[in-house]
Amino acid sequence: MRERAGNVPTMERSRRTAMTKSDIVEKVHERVGSFSKKRSSEVVTLVLDLIKEALEKGDKVKISGFGNFEIRNKEPRKGRNPQTGEEIVISERRVLTFKASQVLKERLNG
């Protein structure tokens, strides 16, 4: 087993599960202390709703020390149906992008 960034063996890291909203609520509850679990849940939900609303309006969301979320418009383009090979037009759409801040990149890479 090789050692990687943060001295966490790669095999161990691949077994980790994703952090969920309820995990975040639990961490907020533990660290703030003065909030009940219900209040912690309300705060986390409020923050996520504010981010979603900003992105839905097309605003960029910048979180210092974390990164930037941005909606980008993708133009329609030609593609192929992989089963038939038939040429199709892939419709325009909006995609969410995230760019990590330099601070976050440095923490992740030691």
Residues 46, 73, single domain; the answer is no
pLDDT in tens, 35-54: 999 999 999 999 999 999 99
Residues 101, 91, single domain; the answer is yes
Residues 29, 18, single domain; the answer is yes
User: How many other C-beta atoms lie within 10 A of the C-beta of residue 25?
Assistant: 20
Cα atoms found within 13 Å of the Cα of residue 42, Cβ hemisphere only: 5
- In this prediction, residue 31 carries a pLDDT of 95
pLDDT band at 2 (very low <50, low <70, confident <90, very high): very low
Structurally, the chain folds into a number of domains equal to 2
For position 75, which CATH number holds?
4.10.520.10
Residues 75, 100, single domain; the answer is yes
Rg (CA), the chain: 20
pLDDT in tens, 6-18: 555 555 556 779 9
Per the confidence metrics, is the pTM higher than 0.85? no
- In this prediction, residue 71 carries a pLDDT of 96
Residues 8, 54, single domain; the answer is yes
- Strand-pairing partners, residue 77, are 90
pLDDT band at 1 (very low <50, low <70, confident <90, very high): very low
Residues 70, 86, single domain; the answer is yes
Residues 6, 51, single domain; the answer is yes
Query: What beta strand segments (E) does the chain contain?
Result: 61-63, 67-74, 77-80, 87-90, 93-100
Does 22 have pLDDT greater than 80?
yes
Q: Under DSSP, is residue 9 helix (H, G, I), strand (E, B) or coil?
A: strand
DSSP letter at 10 equals H
pLDDT in tens, 52-96: 999 999 999 999 999 999 999 999 999 999 999 999 999 999 999
Residues 65, 14, single domain; the answer is no
Q: Where in the sequence is the domain holding 21, given as residue range(s)?
A: 1-59
